[in-house]
Chains A and B, each alone.
Chain A
Amino acid sequence: MHNTCAKATIKIGSYTLAMRGCELLKQSRIPCDLRRISDSGGKYGCIYSITVEEASLWTAEKILRSAGIMVLP
């Protein structure tokens, strides 16, 4: 069976912050994947994306922000 849950991405500027962010999310039992991407709009260039289920997006962003991890718009 395919997982049909909708996915959402959170953009983070730094590998270190993205790695720490993923660890925090996993500690909170929020499944996530980390990838290095090129920002499609070209504004930021090389960044990192944390992919989570869309239903967890709000909580995930809140966890990251409260840990001082800057989430790119």
Chain B
Amino acid sequence: MIYLDNAATTWPKPRGTAATIADVLSSRGANPGRGNYAMAALSSETVYKCRCHAAGFFGAKAPENVIFTPSCTHAINYVLKGVLSAGDHVIISDMEHNAVTRPVMQLARKGVQFSVAHVHEADDEATIAEFRRKMRVNTKMIFCTHASNVFGIKLPIDEIGRLAHRNGILFGVDCAQSAGTAELDLRTLHADFLCMPAHKGLYGIMGLGLLVINNDIKLSTVIEGGTGSLSGINTQPEFLPDRLESGTLNVPAIAALDVGMSFIESVGRERLEAHEMSLICRAYDAISSMPECELYTLRPQSASHVPLLSFNLTGMPSDETAQRLGEREIAVRAGLHCAGEAHRAKGTQATGTVRICPSVFTSAEEIDCLISVLREIDQ
């Protein structure tokens, strides 16, 4: 199979991932932070090691600033619902995934105001001006995606973060499609919250997200419960990470994330991104030469895009194209990609798009095979 659905989840996983998970289950399977015996300590150390690794990976101030969540969506909900309350105003972009749009809509029912800033592809100044125009006296937060999960268009998050901080506004970023390939270093990035899944560009497995916090704000909690700490007190701990980590952690996924980050470091993030970008440009150039094909973005480049691409064969619904590719053992994603707003912004909500996304394991030959099959389908 040619797997080009890496924007949904990367596959395959790096060598060593499955063995690490098996080792956790067989020899480190105790509940972390819940027991005095040796295996519980091993489990706790597994979590701590990955937490420290992630803190270094994203330039967090301390390991406790890395919060493990069940998914990126959970992390985003923790931030939005932990910061915003009735009367507050938040700005999002028109490239958001439903992981951002839907919590904001839910908050709007409770009196939170919101505005949507239009993203200008490859025109950072125009995009920043859109965010600036949406600011109000009660704007408490800007929360936006780093890169569209449909079109790959990057937002200038550093500049948006500067704009936010200059105006005393908190800034959160959905890094679901950028973590692992794009540079994300909180020592230089003007962001208060980074949210991401472990199972995409970080090459971990499903069932784990990360929230990396870069300020001293005490988020209101969305979930409360057992943390393995201060059990004699009936209220949620004040300190991180416990405050935001109620319930048993997904230790196998945390151990897999540790492997994934080590894999990225061994390959080199910039090398990895360059490989994927060269593949997506190869696909773009070939598809743009096909008369019956529609593309929706400029030719991708690192400064303004992450390596993923949306297209359609003219006159063919996206799901039919995906179905036909699937029958030829080529895995892609069709439809609206849980991002109706982004499709509305690009005018593709009626048809959806076919999305392809390579990983470090994708070869040029596989992209050529995709193009060859697309040409056959198109005839």
Contacts and interface: CB of A to CB of B under 8 A. Distances in A.
Interface of A: 13-17, 19-20, 35-37, 39, 42-48, 67-68, 70
Contact of A13 (B35, B45, B230): B230
Given A45-B231, A46-B230, A13 B239 contact: yes
B64 to A, nearest CB: 5
Nearest to A35: B36
A15 B232 contact: no
B103 interface: no
Interface in B204-240: 227-233, 237-240
A45 B232 contact: yes
B218 to A, nearest CB: 13
Given A16-B48, A16-B64, A44 B232 contact: yes
A39 B231 CA distance: 10
11 contacts: A13-B229, A14-B229, A16-B64, A17-B64, A19-B44, A43-B233, A44-B232, A45-B231, A46-B229, A46-B230, A46-B232
B33 A15 contact: yes
Contacts of B241: 14, 16
Given A19-B48, A36-B35, A14 B237 contact: yes
B51 interface: yes
A20 B49 CA distance: 11
Contacts of B276: none
B232 A43 contact: yes
Interface in B78-100: none
B105 interface: no
A67 to B, nearest CB: 8
Nearest to B227: A14
Interface string B33-62: 111100011001100100100000000001
Contacts of A45: 230-233
A23 B275 CA distance: 38
Contact of A44 (B36, B64, B233): B233
Contacts of B62: 20, 67-68
Given A16-B48, A44-B230, A36 B36 contact: yes
Given A14-B242, A15-B48, A47-B230, 15 more contacts: A14-B227, A14-B239, A15-B33, A16-B63, A16-B64, A17-B239, A19-B48, A20-B63, A36-B40, A36-B41, A44-B231, A44-B232, A46-B228, A46-B231, A47-B229
Given A19-B48, A20-B62, A13 B232 contact: no
Of the candidates A15, A19, A42, A45, the one having the most CB atoms from chain B within 10 angstroms of its own CB is A15
A19 B44 CA distance: 10
Q: Which 3 A-B pairs have the closest CB atoms?
A: A45-B232, A45-B231, A15-B33
A42 B233 CA distance: 9
Contact of B64 (A20, A35, A37, A42): A20
Nearest to B66: A16
A45 B231 CA distance: 5
A43 B45 CA distance: 26
A46 B233 CA distance: 10
A16 B51 contact: yes
B258 to A, nearest CB: 15
A47 B32 CA distance: 13
Contacts of B51: 16
